[in-house]
Amino acid sequence: MTDQPSGGGDAPHHACRDIGHLVEGVRRFKSRFYAEAPALMRRLVAEGQEPATLMISCSDSRVDPAILSGAGPGELFVVRNVANLVPPYAPDQGLHGTGAAIEYAVRDLKVDHIVVLGHAHCGGIRAMLATAGGDRPPRDFIGPWVETALAASRLHVADPTAEDGRREMPLDRLKEVPFLAERASVLGSLDSLMTYPWVRERVEAGTLVLHGWWFDLDTGDLWATDAPGQPLMPVT
């Protein structure tokens, strides 16, 4: 998510921007893959998809997982939502779009990896911090959704000034360093993934690996961890 919703209602309307360049992009895609690599596209149509990786990323327009990773057609199964969140396993009659995508990727596509991709300057995480401080954004769905990340921030972000290093960082201080909450949210989503029984079963069997990534928009660096509960470290 790009920017935290403002507290003053909807943004003023402006003239619709042209999207003709996106149509041209489709033409270039067709030329590149259907004209220059027809065997790949025929195989993807005839044999179906077999992606090795499920990528759970933010809806933010600045962090596109395929562009960022250089993945080609058929390589990634992608789920995008505000703040790249994975809610805990809770099967009921509700609508669970993220859970449905995870289930299909793990149980049907048999992916080998799940990557939770967070990023710097995440408006969803800023909205979460504002909601935690009692300033829920005036939106129908965003506030309750981003609250999913609050428990993770409290669990994975400790106050470095505390004697035992364990006390939760006060909210006002956390707002000054939102990147800590962004990385903590990634770890929280990895924790949530392990609440899905068929994810846990495959992780424990060694046939599925979970990864946490955080992309720094300011520098282009990637931080990562390959184990739930372990801190993210710079890898680029």
d(CA 88, CA 195): 6
pTM metric for this prediction: 0.88
d(CA 83, CA 76): 19
Rounded to the nearest 10 degrees, the angle between the axes of helix 178-193 and helix 123-132 is 90
84-139 residue pLDDT tens? 999 999 999 888 999 999 999 999 999 999 999 999 999 999 998 888 888 888 88
How confident is the model at residue 159, as a pLDDT?
Answer: 58
Tell me if 219 sits within 8 A of 227, measured CB to CB.
no
> Which two structure tokens, joined as six digits, stand for 79?
């789920």
> Which two structure tokens, joined as six digits, stand for 14?
């402006």
49-234: CATH architecture: 3-Layer(aba) Sandwich (3.40)
d(CA 145, CA 124): 9
Tell me if 76 sits within 8 A of 100, measured CB to CB.
no
Q: Beta strand pairing status for 76-81 and 53-58?
A: parallel
41-68 residue pLDDT tens? 999 999 999 999 999 999 999 999 999 9
Q: Where in the chain is the domain with CATH 3.40.1050.10?
A: 49-234
